Amino acid sequence: MDGWVLWIVAAVVLGSIELFAAGTLVFGMLAVGSAAAGLTMLLSGSEVAAWAVFGVVSAAMVGIARPIAARHLRTPIGSRMGAAALVGVEADVLEPVDGRDGRIKLKGEIWSARAFDGRSQYAKGDVVSVLQIDGATALVG
C-alpha cells in the first residue's frame, strides 16, 4: 500500500474520532495535518517531507486555528445571530408540545416545536426554553 494512502486513512480515522469526541477540535486539526501530509507524499513521494508537513500543519492548526474556532463555539448569547440567537430564549406554548409536534410563540413569532428529549410534554400556557433549532422547528425543554 502506498504511503500517501495511509496518511489519508489516518485523516479519515482522526476526523471520525473528532465527530464522536464532541468539541475537542484537536483530532479534527490533526486530520487536516494528516490529509496535508498525504497530499505532500502523493505529489513528492518523500516520507520526510510528509512528516514535516504533518508536523507544521498540525501545529499551526492546533496553535492558531483551534483557539479561534473554540472562541466562536463559545459566542455569548447576546452576540449570536440567526437561529443560534434563539437558543436559550424562553417561549410560550400555544398548542401542546410533545416529542412529535407542537406550537410555541418565540420572540413574537409562531414556531413549530418538539420536546428536546422526545418524551416530555408541555401544555398550552407553559413556558419552555429553546434548547436547539432544527431547521424551522424549535427543540424545547
Report the CATH number that the domain containing residue 103 is assigned in CATH. 2.40.50.140
Tell me the residue ranges of DSSP E strands in the chain.
90-95, 103-106, 109-115, 127-134, 137-140
This prediction's pTM: 0.51
Domain that holds residue 122: 79-140
Cβ atoms 136, 129 nearer than 8 A? no
64 shares its domain with 120:
no
CA distance 34 to 117: 37
Q: How many domains does the chain have?
A: 2
pLDDT in tens, 33-80: 999 999 999 999 899 999 999 999 999 888 887 788 777 666 565 556
